[in-house]
Every structure is written in C-alpha cells, then in structure tokens.
Structure 1
Amino acid sequence: MAQSTVQKPKLAYDADPAAAHGGATPYEAYARLDVLHTLQQPRSTVDAEMSFIITTQVMELLFDLVRHEWTLTQQALRADDLPAARAALRRGALTQDVLNSSWDLLATLSPVEFSAFRPLLGEASGFQSSAYLLLEFLLGNKSERLLEMYGGAPEVRKQLTAALHGPSLYDEVLALLARRGLLSEPAAPGTERYRPSEAVQAAWRTVYTDPAHADLVELAEALLDTAERVTRWRQRHYSSVKRTMGAKSGTAGSSGLAWLKAATEQDVFPELWTVRGEL
C-alpha cells in the first residue's frame, strides 16, 4: 500500500522553539511576554508606583475581557440564544469580580506615597480610559461630549463613536422583550444616557409574574448580577480615591471625589431594580 503524500504541517517551533521565537519559549511568544514585561516604566523612585502601574494595566486588560463577554451577550440576544447570553454574562461577572478585587492592591497606597509621584502623571487620569468608556456606553451610560478628549486618537474615537451610536447591552435586551410581545418595538439606539421607562418596568413585572417567561427571569437575574458588580466597582473606585487623595481635584481637572460619588448612585438597568418594589 502506497503511503499518503499528505504531510502534517510543520509548526515554526517544531525544530527549535528557542530559535523560532528569538530565544523565547512558545509560551512566552504566545502571551507576548517579551512586550508585556517591558510596559512597566515608573517615572519616580517611589516603590508604590510599580504597584499603581501594574494594577492599572491589569484593570485595562480586564476591561477588554468584560467588553468581549458583553459583546458576545449582545450577539446571543440577537440570535434569541438565552443560554449563551446567560453564560457570557456569567463569565463577565466573574471577570468583574476580579476587577473589583484589584482595588485591594491600590488600597495599600498611602496618601503620602501617591502624592509623591502624582505630579508625574501630568494630565493623565483613569477618566480618560477608552476601554472603560466603551463599557459605560455598552451599559447605556452614553455621552457624546466625552468623545472630545479623543480628538488626537482618530481610531479610538472611531471605535467609541460606533459604540455611542450602536445598541447598548440593555437595548438588545429590550429588543428581545419586544420580540416576545412584552414591549412595543423599541426606538433606535440613542446617544444619550438611558432613561427609565414605565413601559419597560411593566414588561419586567409581567416577566416576573408570568411562569411562561421563566427563561427571561433567569436572564433578568443574570443582568442584575452584572449591574450589582458595576455598582460595586464604582463604590470601590470612590472609596479608593477617597482613601488615597481625599477631596482633591482629579488629575485631569475633574471634580474627583464628588463625580465618583454621584456615579455610585446611578443604577444600571434601572427598571430591574424598581420593579422589585412591586413584586
């Protein structure tokens, strides 16, 4: 019997992994560790600055992972695949837990330590994080005014503009309720912060009181898991800033503590909270 001439594709590292990746192992090459471990460049001699930089970078990576899961949730909702939507929300919630726990690292930063290197941040502020702003837009907390700070970054602004004009996560949920006959056809996605609706609250009341909508109850509870973790994030952010810098103005000129405190009082998916008083 003649042997097959089909050969198994040869991977670049089959012969010599170290040579194929410039001396790195396949693991290091896959995770781009040669780049990752060069991104921590403190600007001061304050020991605590390294913790500040690494924690901030980890948060940014986790923002991307949360956005990935919420985007998958949107896709599943559009396909009426509620199990897949709940699974993505659950993975996203676990990522949010890690995000919220990351504030513990910054809680070790004393006011004296932070003040020692804070001037070196210049106009840099976490408020300028485009990855986090994308999450806020996905939650329906939209504001076109916030795009102004990205005038010098056209690709970032393009991505944020698409999210601003596109459907939020909650928009996709409400579209699902409309397809189920629980809401009239929703309006096109807006570019302003979502405002609560009595019609939406009535729809959720029907969902929770009609056994025929048990799958939507499970979705609603998964959404609340997400919303609760967003509130925890905002609360941890507020308390962390209060602990390290008190009521000083933010590095980018924001109102700092006052702005953060106001954010903690904004409910995500508001009707899912208010309807509970009627059940």
Structure 2
Amino acid sequence: MCPHATPSAAAATPAALPEAIVHDERAQLDFSQSMSYGDYLQLDAILSAQKPLSPAHDEMLFIVQHQTSELWMKLMLHELQAAIGHIAQDRLPPAFKMLARVSKIMEQLVHAWDVLATMTPPEYSAIRPYLGPSSGFQSYQYRCIEFAMGNKNRAMLAPHAHRADLLAPVQAAYEAPSLYDEALRLLARRGLALAASHTQRDWTQPYTESPEVEQAWLQVYRQPEAHWDLYQLGEELTDLEDAFRLWRFRHLTTVERVIGFKRGTGGTGGVSYLRKMLDVVLFPEIWRLRTDL
C-alpha cells in the first residue's frame, strides 16, 4: 500500500474490483484488433528512419532536427498551397487562417535551431565526413516554399533534376503564380489600378518591385475601412515575411556558430550564401509603404 493510502483507496485495487469492470478495462487496453496510436501515425516507419552513419553520439540530433523540419515544411506547403488557391478564388477568411498557421510553423522552425545550436564545432566535425555532398540546400520542399513565396530562380531546379518525382512539384511551384502574385491579382479584381505587367506576367520570372503596386497597397492602407479584408491580407503577408526572415536569420547564426565560414556540404558558400538570402525581400511594396504612410 502507498504510504498515504486510505482504506477506501486500498479497496479500489484491481483485485477488489468486480470481474466485469476488470475485463472491460483490459478490453480497452487491447489494440490487437483495432487501429492504435502508433498505427495511425505510422510510428514504426517514422521512428525507424533515423540511421546514423557515424559513431558520433550527436548525429542523432542532426538527423532528427532535419527530419522534423521537413515534416513541418510538409505542413507549411499544405497550408501555403491551399491559401494561394483560396486567394485566387476570392475566399479570404480561410486563407487568413492558413497564412497565420504558416507563420506559426515558421516560429517552430526558428526555435528548432536553438536545439541544433547545442551542437559544438568539434561535435559537428565528427559527423561531417559522413554527410558527403548532402545538404539542406537540396531540400525540394524548401525549394517549393521559396517558389510559392515568390523567390523564383531557374537555377534552383538543377539540384532536383536527377529525380523526376521530386523535380515535378518543384517545377510546378516554379511555373505557378506565387502567393504575392495571387494577392496582386486579387487587388486588381477589386478595382485597384494594376497593370498587366504585374497581373498577367511570366510567373517564372523574379518579381520586380513597382511604384504602381505600392500605390495600390497605399490606397488599401490609407482606407482600411473600405478595404478591410485586403488590409488584413497585407498584414498577414507582413507577418509571414517577418517570420520567414527570422527563420533565415536563425539558420545563418546557427550555421556560423557550428561551422564558422567553411563551405556548405552541398557546395554553397555556407554563411556567405545565407547572408545573401537575408537581402531577399518577398513582398517589397508592403514594407516600403510604411515609409510613405
């Protein structure tokens, strides 16, 4: 008996329970004939997917960090693609919910770098020779996210050319209107003055900032009551890019902390490449208008 058990508590032990109740409890704990938690989540496959190649203790951290990031990116793409579709169909309320969720996912990814940052340079050096040329630079999901967010670059198709099954979704994201493209098309449908150069353009080309687009957004922000849902869309996009910048910045600082200025395993400049990415602005007019308000 536990030190503080009372007689009534002792009477409630399994031996004192009616046989029918004990049998019912055992039945509820038997998942041999039904779907269990592990079955539903495919945990056997997920938890057996960590296969370190080195004898280093810290490689498990490195693998789990990147596998969980890919899972979050899968959800991010699921939400981003659906949000783009809703905006294209003038259904903004569900799009707002999805974009807010994407921003929260990015917050999770930002905090995930805190865990990887516990890996010291000697610990990473112990596993680096086993990584070969593999690199997060080759993540096809990340590339789809970049393209969906508007950072189009044809050269970024090349890392996926050896896998037709991976190239297909990357190519589709590259050729489709981005989130910002669809937002601008929505502004035009609402009667705001936007030229065809920004609503019927070649979606594979990098976005070019436009004073005309800024004027359209300024009209929205100067009269929020008249354009409330467009005003809210602008703020959702601002939140999204804000979170994306933090993700990129935390990636940069973690890489610099762990490997310094060594080249990345995938052949990029490492820190120098990530610093360059910090200068990419996805929704430029929404940021610029703040100066002119």
- The TM-score normalised by the length of structure 2 is 0.86
Residue 208 of structure 1: CA displacement?
0.4
Distance, in Å, in 2 between the alignment partners of 1:66 and 1:106 is 21
SS in structure 2 of the partner of residue 212 of structure 1: coil
Residue 188 of structure 1: CA displacement?
3.2
Distance, in Å, in 2 between the alignment partners of 1:192 and 1:115 is 39
Task: Look up the match of 1:174.
Answer: 184
- Whose radius of gyration is greater, 1 or 2? 2
SS in structure 2 of the partner of residue 253 of structure 1: coil
1:62 and 2:62 are equivalent in the alignment: no
Alignment partner of 1:165 out of 155, 161, 175: 175
Task: Look up the match of 1:190.
Answer: 203
Matched residue type, 2:188: A
Confirm or deny: 8 A CA contact 1:230 1:268 kept in the other structure: no
Task: Look up the match of 1:8.
Answer: none
SS in structure 2 of the partner of residue 58 of structure 1: helix
Superposition pairs of residues 1-279 of structure 1, within 5 angstroms: 18-20=31-33, 26-182=36-192, 183-185=194-196, 186-210=199-223, 211-279=225-293
Task: Look up the match of 1:6.
Answer: none
Confirm or deny: 8 A CA contact 1:166 1:189 kept in the other structure: no
Distance, in Å, in 1 between the alignment partners of 2:256 and 2:137 is 16
CA distance 1:17–1:188, shift in 2 (3 Å) = farther
Confirm or deny: 8 A CA contact 2:217 2:289 kept in the other structure: yes
Residue 193 of structure 1: CA displacement?
2.1
Residue 18 of structure 1: CA displacement?
4.2
- 4+ runs deviating over 2 angstroms: 14-21
The C-alpha deviation readout for 1:72-104, integer Å capped at 9, x for no partner, is 211211221111111111111111111111001
Confirm or deny: 8 A CA contact 1:111 1:245 kept in the other structure: yes
Distance, in Å, in 2 between the alignment partners of 1:205 and 1:90 is 22
Confirm or deny: 8 A CA contact 2:157 2:167 kept in the other structure: yes
Residue 242 of structure 1: CA displacement?
0.3
Matched residue type, 1:252: G
Distance, in Å, in 1 between the alignment partners of 2:54 and 2:181 is 45
Distance, in Å, in 1 between the alignment partners of 2:124 and 2:136 is 14
> Percent of pairs identical after alignment?
38
Residue 207 of structure 1: CA displacement?
0.6
The C-alpha deviation readout for 1:198-241, integer Å capped at 9, x for no partner, is 11111111110123112211111111100001100110010000
- The TM-score normalised by the length of structure 1 is 0.90
Confirm or deny: 8 A CA contact 1:141 1:192 kept in the other structure: no
Q: Which runs of 5+ in 2 are unaligned?
A: 1-26
Q: Which moved more, 1:244-253 or 1:181-190?
A: 181-190
Matched residue type, 1:194: Y
Confirm or deny: 8 A CA contact 1:17 1:26 kept in the other structure: no
Residue 267 of structure 1: CA displacement?
1.6
Confirm or deny: 8 A CA contact 2:178 2:203 kept in the other structure: no
Distance, in Å, in 1 between the alignment partners of 2:109 and 2:202 is 28
Residue 53 of structure 1: CA displacement?
0.5
The C-alpha deviation readout for 1:1-49, integer Å capped at 9, x for no partner, is xxxxxxxxxxxxx99974457xxx5211110001000001111121111
Q: Which runs of 5+ in 1 are unaligned?
A: 1-13
Matched residue type, 2:149: L
Matched residue type, 2:90: D
Matched residue type, 1:158: A
Matched residue type, 1:184: A
Matched residue type, 2:55: T
Distance, in Å, in 2 between the alignment partners of 1:206 and 1:152 is 47
Residue 244 of structure 1: CA displacement?
0.2
Give the CA RMSD over aligned residues.
1.7
